[in-house]
Chain A
Amino acid sequence: MSTGKRLDLPLEPERYELSSASAYVFDLDRREFFRVCGAGVLLVSVLKPSAWMQESGQSRPRRGDSLPQEIDAWLHIGENGKVTVYTGKVEVGQNIRTSLSQAVAEELHFPIEKITLVMGDTQLTPFDMGTFGSRTTPTMNLQLRRVASAARDLLVELAAKRWQTDRQKLTTADGKVLDPSNHRSVEYAALVKGQQLTQRLPAQDPLVPAESWTKLGQSMPKVDGRDFVTGAHRYPSDQKLPEMWYGKILRPPAFGASLVSVDLKKAEGMGSIAVHDGNFVGVAAPSSHQATTALAAIQADWKTEPQPSGKELVDYLKKSPAEGRDPTGDGDRYEVGNVDQGAASAAHRLQRTYTVAYIAHVPLEPRAAVAKWDADNLTVWTGTQRPFGVRGELAEAFRISEDGVRVLMPDTGSAYGGKHTGETAIEAARLARAAKRPVKVVWSREEEFTWAYFRPAGVIDVMSSVRDDGTIASWEFHNYNSGSAGIRTFYEITNQRIVFHPAASPLRQGSYRALAATANHFARESHMDELAHVLKMDPLEFRRKNLKNERLRAVFEAAADKFSWGKRQSADGRGFGMGGGYEKLGNVATFAEVQVDRKSGEVKVVRVVSAFECGAIVNPDNLRNQVEGSNVQGLGGALFEAIEFANGKILNGRMSEYRVPRFSDLPAIETVLLDRKDLPSAGAGECPMIGLAPAIANAIFDATGTRLRSLPLVPNGLKVS
């Protein structure tokens, strides 16, 4: 197996191109559609090339002079009265199964409970790059609205033909076409009976405006919520096939270790199978207990190489540019005006360094896959944000055609950007091939902590200058390794130099909810507070002075109002702070109140207020849930989460050693949602997270006078002199 190199690719869409999309082009084959769906009416959505390029961040391989057309969703109205929608997007707790159903119900005028979404199945759903970057709502939600709207149009036309009447006289409601002139009506199901109609999505967008929504814009409960509270839902790790065995993988003692010798004899004599293929060693057995026993019987020698440790990380990242990159920063450079002249003209200059640690996603469901071979055809059920990407990884690993690989993604126990890659799928498939039967691999928590990938650590240098009137005269910002998402400042500054320096990360790193926007906003919004302090200006007033963006101003004002910023009373040990910004088409401002116990050093975040705006709200309660969840998850990275490592080993890779936020960490959380019905809906899984860390750091400074510039801020409490 030659998967090592591929699996080590760092994955973060904004920093690196994802493993490129397959050249797969879905040919529209009517017979195939109807074989899968049964008779009825089918609407096919063809993604416009421009939209495709926006989402993927790269141009598609060209065929001749034109971009290939890409189907991104299809919708089927069956003669059984059910509507089935096919999309390559996947559900990891962001609740898009519900919000996408709402979109279809709204435009189709159809009961939501009769809509089924088939998601993330590479055999049944159209190609999709993956579920990341908060793109589902701005792209797929909109696209499904178009599809549903076109479907309704087609149904009206069918009814007009049947009744031989003018289609303008007809209306639709609740799954029926109605003719108000003579009170007749017909169910969609009856209209599509025996039909095999297909229609491509027309170019126009006859969409219901947000002001008139009745199903979108409402707090619809999770469509399949009952399955989750009864334990009936089957996550990837719950899949079970007849004759299935359980697999375990032998892990190296350190990153980058190479296998010198291995003895499988004992393991093979225990009713299990053992596989040694390149650097891969694994076992499969009829029970997980037997697999664990067999794994322990394997004798292996590894050769390890010395590697950098966490203690030297800051220096290391600044001195170790990524391969082929110029240390002065050709990676991602933005320059306007002249920072040196700007700084020379200002009364105050400030230079500060901020750092962020590697952190782990800790999805509560670890990576899992069940693989099954049928001759040379491979089927894998796995929890991944990129089913089509994993299909490509499997095809490459086993040197088979992508046509022979099917990847299915059952709704998964969270991901947070951490489940982009397909190593578990490959492991299960390799063992299944050897065992000649289905094999399930579920990573242990320790494996998940060690062999997945991390949010990148980073070092950020900020050099700024301000005039006495509060105008920022120059802004220089260098991010080493953590990423370029959210790196540009949204404040109005004439002279800017902003540079991203990719580094050779000692740990495997990749996407994490909000990407580097968390690190970059932490540095920027902390620094803003430091500048306000230099000027003895109110931090909100200082931001107002330098901020023109109306949407951002609106969330700062809304949060300040709810928080009663103007009436706050700081005291020793009690402080208030703010942070905000925009990312992934959303705008957030978060205000925090902290209580610091100077004796014990304990820092408690007692209150958090976030104002969030992402255009027209699709599902208010779910949006609130996402904003609250972002703030709770964000508490960990802000206060105490950090991966400790030395010489190629993770030192705290267990739940008992790596602290995540718990009930007792919960502040009072208040969320203000600004509903901009005049603006397109954007996603909300990431942006709400970015304001919290700087808000807390600024509040700690307000409470104690101690300025903390490293995330996590207080892994061991606050040492106050």
Chain B
Amino acid sequence: MAAIHLSINGRAFTIDADPQTSLLTVLREHLDLTGTKYGCGEGQCGACTVLIDGKAQRSCLTRAAAVGQRKITTIEGLARGDQLHAVQQAFLDEGALQCGYCTSGMIMSAVALLDRNHHPTPSEIIEFMDGNVCRCGTYSRIIRAIQKAAKKRVETGTAKAVGQ
């Protein structure tokens, strides 16, 4: 067991865990931040996606102890009070979910994409998001939601990167 220091959603945490423990397990089990999901444990489905210094990372393959000083943002840290992030709102507006289990990972990946590309084309979205699986098959709606969020962020001047 070792003390692991993490910065998550703007707050500092110290966790006592085995050094091999994944960031996903620390989030879900130690901190009860269950918005980040387990889907496959091998980085193939994207359900566990979080932002680390603004980059989309698979928390199931990331050792918590290896994150260091970098800033972690999870789905719980995306909204500002009652104000949803543009991507969250767009997912609601486009009905871009069915069971919603992939949604956290989809939204976090989409935020990472829009933070580095303000106007992604559909093929850029497909290429970037291809590691995120939606078994319910809402892909076309997710693409629309990402495009809608991109447009809104540019229009309202809110295209400010998250968690960097």
Interface residues of chain A, those whose CB is within 8 Å of chain B, are: 92-95, 219, 221-222, 225-226, 228-235, 237-238, 240, 246, 287-289, 362-366, 411-414, 416, 442, 444-445, 621-622, 625-626, 628-633, 654-656, 660-664, 666, 669
From residue A207, how far is it (CB to closest CB) to chain B in Å?
27
Asked whether B17 is an interface residue with its Cβ less than 8 Å from the other chain, the reply is yes
User: Given the known A-B contacts A229-B107, A664-B126, are A656 and B42 also in contact in the complex, defined by CB atoms under 8 Å?
Assistant: yes
Give chain B residues whose Cβ lies under 8 Å from the Cβ of A411.
Answer: 99-100
Q: Which residues of A contact B44 (CB under 8 A)?
A: 654-656
- Interface readout for B87-129 with A: 1 if CB under 8 Å, 0 if not? 0110110010111111110010000000000000000011101
Q: Is the CB of A666 within 8 A of B126?
A: yes
Residues in B with CB closer than 8 Å to A655 are 39-40, 42, 44-45, 133
Q: How would residues 127 to 164 of chain B score, 1 for a CB under 8 Å from any chain A CB and 0 otherwise?
A: 10111111111111111000000000000000000000
- A92: chain B residues within 8 A (beta carbon): 99
- Give Cα A363 to B101, complex, Å: 9
**B40 and A221: CB pair below 8 A?**
no
Q: Is there contact, CB below 8 Å, between B92 and A229?
A: yes
- Chain B 8-44 near chain A by CB (<8 Å), digits 1 or 0: 0000000001101100010011001111111111101
Q: Which residues in B have their C-beta under 8 angstroms from that of A235?
A: 34, 37, 101
B75: interface (CB < 8 Å):
yes
Question: In the complex, which of the residues B17, B35, B129, B141 contacts A232, with contact meaning CB atoms closer than 8 Å?
Answer: B35
Complexed CA–CA distance, A411 and B97 (Å): 13
B78 touches A (CB below 8 Å): yes
Residues of the A chain whose Cβ atoms lie less than 8 Å from the Cβ of B47: 364
Inter-subunit contact A445/B42 (CB<8 Å): yes
B137 with A226: CB separation less than 8 A: no
List, sorted by A's number, 30 A–B pairs whose CB atoms are closer than 8 Å. A93-B97, A93-B99, A221-B92, A222-B95, A229-B84, A230-B76, A230-B88, A231-B75, A287-B25, A289-B17, A363-B135, A364-B99, A364-B102, A365-B39, A411-B100, A412-B99, A413-B100, A414-B98, A414-B135, A444-B41, A445-B40, A625-B95, A629-B136, A633-B135, A633-B136, A633-B137, A661-B137, A663-B130, A664-B130, A669-B140
**Residue among A234, A246, A660 facing the most chain B CB atoms (10 A cut-off):** A660
Give the residues in chain A near B57, CB-CB below 8 Å: none
B74 within 8 A of A: yes
Q: How far is the CB of A621 from chain B (nearest CB, A)?
A: 5
Residues of A within 8 A of B134 (CB): 364, 632
Select which of A225, A362, A625 is within 8 A of B135 by beta carbon. A362
User: Which residues of chain A are near B2, meaning CB under 8 Å?
Assistant: none
Q: Choose one: B33, B39, B89, B100; the contact of A228 (CB below 8 Å).
A: B100
**Alpha-carbon separation in the docked complex, A287 to B26 (Å):** 10
> What separation, in Å, do the CA atoms of A669 and B102 have in the docked complex?
21
Q: Cβ of B79 < 8 Å from any Cβ of A?
A: yes
A residues in contact with B107, CB < 8 Å: 229
Whole-angstrom CA separation of A93 from B134 in the bound complex: 12
B98 touches A233 (CB 8 A): no
CA distance A92 to B101 in the complex (A): 10
Interface of B is mostly: loop
B14: min CB distance to chain A, Å: 16
Which residues of A have CB within 8 Å of B41? Answer: 444-445
Out of B29, B135, B139, which one reaches A246, CB within 8 Å? B29
Residues of B within 8 A of A621 (CB): 95
Residues of B within 8 A of A (CB): 17-18, 20-21, 25, 28-29, 32-42, 44-45, 47, 74-76, 78-79, 84, 88-89, 91-92, 95, 97-104, 107, 125-127, 129-143
CB of B104 to closest CB in A, whole Å: 5
| Least CB distance, B59 to chain A, in whole angstroms | 13
**B45–A628 touching, CB < 8 Å:** no
B74 pairs with A625, CB closer than 8 A:
no
- Say how far A720's CB is from chain B's closest CB, in angstroms: 27
Contacting residues, chain A, for B88 (C-beta < 8 A): 229-230
Q: Are B42 and A628 in contact (CB under 8 A)?
A: no
- Other A-B contacts than A366-B38, A416-B135, A632-B139, 17 sampled, CB-CB below 8 A, are A95-B98, A225-B97, A229-B88, A229-B89, A229-B100, A230-B76, A230-B78, A230-B79, A231-B74, A231-B104, A246-B29, A289-B25, A363-B135, A625-B141, A654-B42, A662-B139, A666-B143
Find chain B residues with CB under 8 A from A95 CB.
Answer: 98
Residues from chain B with a CB closer than 8 A to the CB of A246 are 29
CA distance A287 to B1 in the complex (A): 12
| Cα–Cα distance between A669 and B142 once the two chains are bound (Å) | 13
Total A-B residue contacts, Cβ distance less than 8 Å: 171
Complex Cα spacing A289 to B17, Å = 9
The 7 nearest A-B residue pairs measured at CB:
A231-B35, A632-B137, A93-B99, A413-B101, A231-B75, A228-B100, A238-B34
Contact A364 B39 (CB under 8 A): yes
Query: In chain A, what residue has the closest Cβ to B102?
Result: A364
- Closest chain B residue to A626, Cβ basis: B98
Within the assembled complex, what's the spacing in Å between the Cα atoms of A234 and B101?
A: 10
Give bound CA distance, A660 to B132, whole Å. 11
Residues from chain B with Cβ under 8 Å of A231 in the complex:
33-36, 74-76, 104
- Please, how many angstroms separate the alpha-carbon atoms of A630 and B29 in the complex? 34
Given contacts A230-B88, A629-B137, A666-B139, contact A364 B37 (CB under 8 A): yes
Report if A289-B18 is in contact (Cβ < 8 Å); known contacts: A238-B34, A444-B41. yes
Known: A663-B129, A663-B132. A237 touches B40 (CB 8 A): no
Cβ–Cβ contact A662 & B130, under 8 A: yes
Given contacts A246-B29, A632-B139, contact A234 B130 (CB under 8 A): no
Give chain A residues whose Cβ lies under 8 Å from the Cβ of B129: 663
Q: Hey, which chain A residues are within 8 Å of B84, CB to CB?
A: 226, 229-230
Roughly how many angstroms separate A662 CA and B102 CA in the complex, as a whole number? 12
Closest to A654 in B: B42
Residue of A nearest to B35 (CB): A231
Is A628 a contact of B140 with CB atoms below 8 Å? yes
Docked pose: A79 CA to B42 CA in angstroms? 51
With A94-B98, A633-B135, A662-B130 known as contacts, the answer to whether A442 contacts B38 (CB < 8 A) is: yes
Taking the closest CB of chain B, its distance from the CB of A605, in whole angstroms, is 13
Shortest beta-carbon distance from A113 to chain B in Å: 14
Residues of A within 8 A of B40 (CB): 445, 654-656
Closest chain A CB from B162 CB (angstroms): 14
A663 CA / B102 CA spacing, docked (Å): 13
Chain B residues positioned under 8 Å from A363 (CB to CB): 99, 101, 135
* Nearest residue, chain B, Cβ from A619: B95
Residues of chain B within 8 A (CB-CB) of A654 are 40, 42, 44
Once the chains are docked, how many angstroms separate the CA of A94 from the CA of B136?
A: 9
Option from A221, A226, A365, A669 in Cβ contact (under 8 Å) with B37: A365
- Measured in the bound complex, the distance between the Cα atoms of B37 and A445 in whole Å is 12
Residue of B nearest to A622 (CB): B95
Q: How far is the CA of A92 from the CA of B97 in the complex (A)?
A: 11
Assembly CA distance A444 to B39 (angstroms):
8
Asked if residues A625 and B138 are in contact (CB atoms below 8 Å), the reply is: yes
Residue contact B135 to A288, C-beta cutoff 8 Å = no
Q: How far is the CA of A435 from the CA of B151 in the complex (A)?
A: 53
Q: Which of A226, A365, A661, A663 contacts B99 (CB 8 A)?
A: A365
Contacts of A666 in B (CB 8 A): 126, 139-140, 143
Contact A93 B125 (CB under 8 A): no
Return chain B residues, CB-CB under 8 Å to A663: 125-126, 129-130, 132, 139, 142-143
